[in-house]
Amino acid sequence: MVVKNIAVLFSGSGSNLQAILEKIHNKIFNGVKIKVALLICNNPNAKGIKRAKKFGLETIVINHRDYDSREEFDQALVDEIKKHDIDLSVLAGFMRILTPVFTDNIKAINLHPSILPLFKGANAINESYNSDMKIGGVSVHWVSSQLDSGEIIAQKSFARKHKSLKEWEEKIHKIEHKLLPKTIIEILAKGK
């Protein structure tokens, strides 16, 4: 049995981490078993840490506040990931800007709550909602040294019939929880 190990990096609520754990962790796709082998969080108070515990998984906390520079923090992430036999790292709500120390050394994908290349950065949900776009959406892309700019792997859009910001946000998360696990399967088990 081929086993592919993933690392999941997160910062907060961890609902996407939970979707990964529910939908693909220790499951077999196309003869490939996908295993969440490493969890890293930069925020010791993140709700995601508790969610992971419910699945019997411990999270390694690497707090960015303990490091003097982005590069030193990134090196700590790289060192941890390299200790494990990781095939793919998944940024699932990991709210740190990464330097080439990370991006040149780690094969990673990122989840972003907009139709890239529109609305890069940390306020994508609000900015897309407040725009006059008739659609919103979600992207998964390869991580590169430019924020939210690596090659797009998957996107899913929805029509603007969601009136409130809350509905807009809920729709985005609902799509994210399907699109990210599906994309991981496609990369690791279908060779896309």
Active site residues: 112
**Closest CB 5 distance from ligand GRF, rounded Å:** 20
Compute the distance between CA of residue 155 and CA of residue 27 in angstroms, rounded to an integer.
24
Count of residues engaged in binding ligand GRF, rule: CB under 6 A: 14
Instruction: Report whether 110 belongs to an annotated binding site.
Output: yes
Which residue, 183, 162, 181, is CA-closest to 171?
A: 162
**Residue 65, annotated as binding a ligand:** no
- The answer to whether 70 is annotated as binding is yes
Based on CB atoms, which residue is closest to ligand GRF, 3 or 96?
96
Q: What is the rounded CA–CA span in Å between residue 158 and residue 191?
A: 27
Residue whose structure tokens are 């040149």: 104
Q: What whole-number distance in Å separates Cα of residue 43 and Cα of residue 2? A: 33
Q: How far is the CB of 15 from ligand GRF (least distance, A)?
A: 3
Q: Which of residues 13, 75, 144, 149 is near ligand GRF by CB under 6 A?
A: 13
Q: Is the peptide bond before 113 cis (omega within 30 degrees of 0)?
A: no
Helix or strand holding residue 8 (H, E): strand 2-10
Residue 55, strand partner residues: none
Does residue number 92 form part of the binding site for ligand GRF (CB under 6 A)?
A: yes
Our finding on whether 10 is near ligand GRF (CB under 6 A) is yes
Q: Does 11 belong to an annotated binding site?
A: no
| By the rule CB under 6 A, 111 interacts with ligand GRF | yes
Rule CB under 6 A: which residues touch ligand GRF? Answer: 10, 12-17, 48, 92-93, 111-113, 176
